[in-house]
């Protein structure tokens, strides 16, 4: 099997520097997302940076009944907590910093239910002043081909199929794909949006 994780060594990476939200520089960051947990044989996510180093992980994805998912760094420290809001007419989720589960969320996500805008999958609203206060996701998550767009329709993150070799035209499949994060957009927030796409549209 082709290697998905060239530099995966959780023991060596457990003392790595704390992940810093936000990304500088002028180039997009291409992450590899593996729809597999490091701890459980089944649900979860493992995310690698462009050099193949472990960046993010989700190990509690199987506990769907709790309506809560935690995005962690390589060492297992919580970065974002994703919670489903109860008693909402449509699927409505809130994303909090770290292990926080109450108060003002960083952003909220709703499944689009407007019949005249079927190409929109999710509506995203950031709490408080932010450079990306309103976002939405368009495309097809099942085909691993969708984009996160701001109000001016500029792509800030994109989900794409990952090929076995550059230019081969042969993809890994739906469980391994690319997440391209544009400069100025937080990779952790982009991954939280991917988790919600998977949670809402996995069926």
Report CA torsion sign: 70, 112, 173, 26.
negative
Domain that holds residue 123: 28-201
Kindly tell me the burial class for residue 154, based on how many C-beta atoms sit within 10 Å of its own C-beta (0-12, 13-18, 19 or more).
exposed
22 falls within a domain: no
Q: What is the mean pLDDT of residues 8-13?
A: 44
pLDDT tier, 131 (very low <50, low <70, confident <90, very high otherwise): low
Which CATH number belongs to the domain containing residue 191 in this structure? 2.40.160.200
For residue 90, pLDDT over 80 is answered with no
Is pLDDT larger for residue 146 or for residue 90? Answer: 146
Percent of the chain with pLDDT over 90: 55
Q: With respect to residue 18, please indicate whether it lies within any of the assigned structural domains.
A: no
Q: Indicate the number of domains in the chain.
A: 1
- Tell me the DSSP string of 22-73: S--SSS-EEEEEES--SSSSSS-EEEE-TTS-EEEEE--TT-GGGTEEEEEE
Instruction: Quote the CA–CA distance of 10 and 16 in Å, as a whole number.
Output: 10
pTM (2 d.p.): 0.83
3-class SS of residue 134 = strand
């Amino acid at each position: 099997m082709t290697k998905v994780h060239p530099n995966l060594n959780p023991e060596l990476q457990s003392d790595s520097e704390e992940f810093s939200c936000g990304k500088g520089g002028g180039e997009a960051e291409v992450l590899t997302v593996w729809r597999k947990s490091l701890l459980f044989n089944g649900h979860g996510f493992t995310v690698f940076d462009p050099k193949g180093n472990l960046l993010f992980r989700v190990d509690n994805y199987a506990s769907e009944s709790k309506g809560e998912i935690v995005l962690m760094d390589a060492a297992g420290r919580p970065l974002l907590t994703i919670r489903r809001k109860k008693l909402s007419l449509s699927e409505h989720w809130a994303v909090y910093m770290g292990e926080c589960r109450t108060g003002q969320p960083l952003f909220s996500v709703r499944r689009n239910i407007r019949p005249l805008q079927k190409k929109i999958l999710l509506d995203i609203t950031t709490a408080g002043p932010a450079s990306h206060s309103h976002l939405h996701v368009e495309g097809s998550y099942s085909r691993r081909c969708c984009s996160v767009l701001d109000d001016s329709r500029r792509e800030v993150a994109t989900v794409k199929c990952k090929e076995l070799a550059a230019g081969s035209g042969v993809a890994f499949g739906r469980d391994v794909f690319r997440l391209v994060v544009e400069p100025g957009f937080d990779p952790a927030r982009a991954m939280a949006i991917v988790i919600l796409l998977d949670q809402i549209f996995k069926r």
